[in-house]
Each structure stands twice: as structure tokens, then as C-alpha cells.
């Protein structure tokens, strides 16, 4: 009889622990971000044509010339992409070389977007079917990747860049350069 009591309490304890775990997990905010599994790996080979006349297109070879860069995945139809424009501008003024991939975008729309929100990019590739986006494990716009001089992805920033993200991205860029 005594032994049965003990085992019953153990079952109650296990059930309590389970409910505790459920309560804890349910109280945690949901993480909607899908992290890229490509961080730490070389950027896959690609060659995108230009989308606007003022900037050349972008290929994977351009990203492996020794200089670390920020790769911004954006689109003119994406509202947070407009919101992060001042931060991209600040990054460029701080000396960052920023290249971009325009996702599913018409040239005239990109042109207008850059006129309104500024153009901090040295190169812009045109990705009409999200092929480069899928190849680097990006699941939305905007996203910003740090690429080192050998073309290896060292960091992924998901979502628009807020003001307090700027120093962190510059630090990641500095780390990629050393």
C-alpha cells in the first residue's frame, strides 16, 4: 500500500511538471522568424541583371572580391523597406558598401522607390522569381545579410533595420572584414 502511494505521487509530480512546461511555452511570445541555414556558408552562385540604369546588376562573383558588404533584400512594394531607408542611409554614411537584390519588382517601380527614399546601393540585382532569395534562405523582405570578402554569409538580419540595429550591423561588418 505504501509503495502505491509513492508511485501515485510521482505520477502527480510528472503531470504537474508537464502542465508547468505547457504554461511556460504558451506564455512565450511566438517567434515567426525563419532563420537562414546559410549563415556561415558561401553564397551560392548567381548572376542577376540590373534593374535600374544607374546601377549595375549583382553576381556572386561581385561579392567575393575581398571587401565585406551588406546585402539588402528589398522590394518597392514592401512597406517596411521604405521604413528602413534612413537606417540604410546611415550605414552607407558610416562607410558600409551596400548591394541589393530587388524581389519581384518592376524597373519603373524600383526607380520611383529609389527617387523617394534614396539610393544607398552600389549594385542592384533584379530577381523576378525570388531565386536568389530562396538560394540564400531568406523568407521575406526586407532582410539584410553580412557577406565577408570571400563571399561567405556571416550574419542575417530579419525584418527592417531599426535605429538601434545600425551599430550592431556595423560591428558585424567590421568582424566580417577582419
Partner 1 sequence: MMRWRLALLAAMAFTLPAAAQDRMPPAPYAYTQLDDPTKEQQARELMHTLRCLKCQSQSIADSDAPMAGDMRHQVRTRIAAGESPKEVRAWLVSRYGDYVSYEPQVSSTTWPLFVLPLVLLLLAGTILFRRLGARTREDSA
Name the minimum Å distance from CB 102 to partner 1: 10
Q: Is residue 31 near partner 1 by the rule CB under 8 A? A: no
Number of residues that bind partner 1 (CB under 8 A): 26
Strands 58-59 and 47-48: antiparallel
Tell me the CA distances in angstroms from 15 to 21, 26, 146, one per residue in order. 10, 16, 46
Within 130-169, the residues that bind partner 1 by CB under 8 A are 130-131, 133-137, 139-140
Place of cell 531607408: 85
> Of the ranges 33-41, 115-123, 144-152, 169-177, which one interacts with partner 1 (CB under 8 A)?
33-41
Within 56-115, the residues that bind partner 1 by CB under 8 A are 75, 77-79, 103-106, 109
End-to-end CA distance of the chain: 69
Q: Which residue, 151, 152, 157, is CA-closest to 171?
A: 157
Q: Which of 40, 167 has the CB closer to partner 1?
A: 40
* Number of other residues whose CB lies within 10 A of the CB of residue 19: 10
Name the minimum Å distance from CB 159 to partner 1: 14
- Round to whole Å and give the CA distance between 125 and 134: 14
Report the interface residues with partner 1, using CB under 8 A: 32, 34-38, 75, 77-79, 103-106, 109, 128-131, 133-137, 139-140
Amino acid at each position: 500500500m505504501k509503495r502505491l502511494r509513492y508511485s501515485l505521487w510521482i505520477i502527480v509530480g510528472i503531470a504537474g511538471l508537464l502542465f508547468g512546461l505547457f504554461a511556460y511555452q504558451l506564455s512565450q511570445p511566438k517567434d515567426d522568424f525563419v532563420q537562414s541555414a546559410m549563415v556561415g556558408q558561401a553564397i551560392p552562385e548567381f548572376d542577376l541583371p540590373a534593374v535600374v540604369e544607374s546601377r549595375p546588376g549583382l553576381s556572386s562573383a561581385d561579392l567575393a572580391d575581398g571587401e565585406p558588404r551588406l546585402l539588402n533584400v528589398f522590394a518597392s512594394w514592401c512597406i517596411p523597406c521604405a521604413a528602413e531607408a534612413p537606417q540604410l542611409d546611415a550605414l552607407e554614411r558610416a562607410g558600409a558598401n551596400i548591394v541589393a537584390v530587388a524581389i519581384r519588382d518592376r524597373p519603373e517601380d524600383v526607380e520611383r522607390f529609389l527617387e523617394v527614399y534614396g539610393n544607398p546601393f552600389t549594385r542592384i540585382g533584379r530577381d523576378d522569381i525570388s531565386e536568389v532569395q530562396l538560394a540564400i534562405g531568406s523568407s521575406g523582405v526586407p532582410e539584410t545579410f553580412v557577406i565577408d570578402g570571400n563571399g561567405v554569409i556571416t550574419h542575417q538580419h530579419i525584418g527592417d533595420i531599426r535605429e538601434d540595429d545600425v551599430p550592431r550591423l556595423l560591428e558585424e561588418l567590421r568582424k566580417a572584414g577582419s
